[in-house]
Chain A
């Protein structure tokens, strides 16, 4: 069954090298991440402290959770640009239900999740049944959702009365600590990624997501219901957007119609940086997590280093391009 055409010594070397290149190609940013971390460790007094690392992880939570959804969608070779708008709308709806209508946190949270799932369902139906390109479709829903969010808030911030704020009931999601040390959001973040990993690797659904992303037509011919996999995945992405909204409301204690907008770029950057192929079929969920943490550490590191705010954009742009350019290694290997 095994037919080796090569002498063992040569094959070992070439295989090692191929593995290394493959690894760097898919997770090349990790090298940059490590260098960055080492640099910060020796050049700042606070980077390598427990408190700072926990802060970075805590800050990575919202983007991290939403990036799981984006990762799943990108695995299918599609995009979900509405995640940020889902965060905004679900956050605004949840906060106003709790503050203005006195809805209990649990119900308001479930409504936020349901809203996300509903948006995902609509996205999925538009993309599969109307056959509209996923970028256009989700850009469209994104615009509608943002519009609704602004209509609800009229441009104002939704906040509760101090000392009697209904949002205080969910503050444990952002400020709580497990065993007095590990922040609750960090626990949630890692738990979500572990679950996502097992869903992708060990379930029928995960196997089919990869199959659809790898070769949609072959998947259809293999009897996979491609449309329902897509719809379910968009619903998952929307629901995770809803959860990210809950976490963000808990984090900032208020909600605005623009609260999700700034997350879109880091979410998509993290997934691509993590090595997921935009054409689908390839990507590792933990690399996306590492990329989210890396992105957060860039902002954190620049504050610790005291880099002028005017040059931060330049520096973070260069770091990203260098990290992404390692991707070229893989493409060359292929050609």
Chain B
């Protein structure tokens, strides 16, 4: 018998049917992955399971009993815990207090029994391979991954048997992600059922037993992961045939250096970085978080002060600054879309045109709106940005479309060089492929791309050459055609160097 059965769930919001007759079952003790693009209905489903939202129709059966939580509290009492992307922790209280909130241990005087609370917290943390954390530490002193562990500890204390995790790795680095996987596996071994929601297909194939695909509010398929291939999963998510993930790579037509970096050094972040970027090539920069790859991009764009080193742009010495970059047709897609890439409460039109708005202004600064609309319209068409009209605020668009707006802003300057930092982070698979295609198109027109990415498959699929960084230095320069994921990782982590030293 299934652990949880979901039967014909429907839910409508004004203007949109979020769930259409969704039915599937989750087996006890499984890691059950839930995938789908944004707007597929995943979050609505999670909220219904967590008791935060009530379905219009349909029912659920949890361990043979009817399950219809009227509030998050009821869900918790029924053994269903949910860990959202934004944690629900009190930052200035201790770990123990956060873990045991609502289940505080009191001594005979009715006061909190701190010692007992700490002991119990310690025991739970040990089960989660986090014995090194002190229960007395305040939560705000923890790293993201550790906060997540505290959330999980909370659900263990509540003796939850179903743990729902919404994009748990979105803010974690590679090491933290690996640690989290260990925790999830051990929870599964302890009999906890996990509903795992993620964009990252690699993780799903590594971790899940079963996968459910949703699209446009409807249930598409539920299958054991062993019977699923990556391409089929993607096809089910986006609802169309997938020819190939990455567009074909073309060799650069000419060998023309566009950007030369020599000895770039920035205090404790970059050490003596030297490389050349050629017309028509994608040069990828790989590295773990903290390796300095993002800092390299920022330094070239003028967002990070360089202590020494020289940049040559088209053969001339270049002093980087964002304003100069815009003039010299050097485009930059920032890492964090929300805080760096777009203006959320400004129109799509203005977001796209802001860099080149001076081209639409008269000498006294009077704006020609027709000119601005033309710029925006061209990019909206080029990127197929889904917006009702160009005066819509960007905040109302989906994540993928927001990223397209951010890219459109870069392309508005008709760049010769594009620096892309994590261009597909946190967006749907479908849009991801579109963005890959844009990069390929851009390169085909003679643009040079510096691609900073944490996704090695993306690097291998798009780039011509790969620079691997570690501790602020370039530790390897590899030809993409003759390298492998393992080799890149070895350099990134430092094993390659280690083995060299031994020989």
CB pair A222–B409 under 8 Å, yes or no, is yes
Residue of B nearest to A10 (CB): B15
User: Which of A1, A5, A222 interacts with B384 by CB under 8 Å?
Assistant: A1
Instruction: Tell me the dominant secondary structure on chain B's binding face.
Output: mixed
Judge whether B325 and A223 touch: CB under 8 Å: yes
Interface residues of B in 10-25 (CB under 8 A from A): 14-16
Rounded to whole Å, the gap between the CB of B321 and the closest CB of chain A is: 8
Q: Is the CB of B409 within 8 A of A13?
A: no
Which residue of chain A has its CB nearest to the CB of B332? A221
- Kindly list chain B residues whose C-beta atoms are within 8 Å of the C-beta of A223: 322-323, 325-327, 355
Does A211 belong to the interface (CB within 8 Å)? yes
Binds A, one of B111-119, B220-228, B338-346: B338-346
Chain A residues in 8 Å Cβ range of B380: 1
Taking a contact as CB atoms under 8 Å apart, the answer to whether B326 and A214 are in contact is no
| Binding-face segment, B144-152, B190-198, B360-368, B430-438 | B360-368
Q: Contacting B334 at CB < 8 Å: which of A15, A211, A214, A221? A: A221
**B323 close to A225 (CB less than 8 A):** yes
Residues of A within 8 A of B358 (CB): 204
Most A C-beta atoms less than 10 A away, residue of B303, B354, B387: B354
Which A residue's beta carbon lies closest to that of B386? A3
Near B by CB (< 8 A), chain A positions 1-30 give 1-7, 10-11, 13-15
B381 close to A (CB within 8 Å): yes
* B172 lies within 8 A of chain A by Cβ: no
Q: Tell me how many residues of A have a C-beta within 8 Å of chain B.
A: 33
Checking A11, A217, A222 against B354 with a beta-carbon cut-off of 8 angstroms, the contacting residue is: A222
Residue of A nearest to B338 (CB): A215
Pairwise interchain contact B346-A281, C-beta atoms closer than 8 A: yes
A214 to B395, CA, bound (A): 12
Rounded to whole Å, the gap between the CB of B170 and the closest CB of chain A is: 21
| In the bound complex, CA of A10 to CA of B16 (Å) | 8
Tell me, yes or no, whether B357 is within 8 Å of chain A by CB: yes
Among A4, A15, A205, A218, max chain B CB count under 10 A is at A218
- Whether the pair B354, A10 counts as a contact (CB closer than 8 A) is no
Is the pair A215, B367 in contact by a Cβ cutoff of 8 Å?
A: no
Minimum C-beta distance from A29 to chain B (A)? 21
Count class of interface residues, chain B:
35 or more
* B412 nearest CB neighbor, chain A only: A222
Q: Scan residues 215-264 of chain A and give those whose CB is less than 8 A from a CB of chain B.
A: 215, 217-225
A6–B365 contact, CB under 8 A?
no
- A203 at the B interface (CB under 8 A): yes
Is A218's CB under 8 angstroms from B339's CB?
A: yes
Distance of A220 Cα from B301 Cα, bound (Å): 11
| Interface residue? A202 (CB, 8 A) | yes
| A1 B367 Cβ-Cβ under 8 A | no
Assuming the A-B contacts A1-B384, A4-B388, A204-B361, are A281 and B342 also in contact, with contact meaning beta carbons closer than 8 angstroms in the complex?
no
- Write out the residue numbers on chain A whose beta carbons fall within 8 Å of the beta carbon of B346: 210-211, 214, 281
Set of chain B residues within 8 Å of A225, measured between Cβ atoms: 323
Give the Cβ gap from A197 to chain B, nearest Cβ, in Å: 13
Find out whether the CB atom of A217 lies under 8 angstroms from the CB atom of B357: no
Cβ–Cβ < 8 Å partners of A282 in chain B: 345
* Interface residue ranges, B against A (CB under 8 Å): 14-16, 39, 301, 303, 322-323, 325-327, 332, 334, 339-346, 350, 354-355, 357-358, 361, 364-367, 369, 380-381, 384-388, 409
Beyond known contacts A203-B367, A204-B357, A204-B366: 17 more, CB 8 A cutoff: A1-B386, A2-B387, A2-B388, A3-B386, A10-B15, A202-B366, A203-B361, A204-B361, A207-B354, A207-B367, A214-B345, A214-B346, A215-B339, A217-B339, A223-B327, A224-B323, A281-B346
What are 23 A-B contacts defined by CB distance under 8 Å? A2-B387, A5-B16, A6-B15, A6-B16, A10-B15, A11-B14, A11-B15, A202-B367, A203-B364, A204-B358, A204-B365, A207-B350, A211-B354, A218-B334, A218-B341, A218-B343, A221-B301, A221-B303, A221-B340, A221-B341, A223-B326, A225-B323, A281-B346
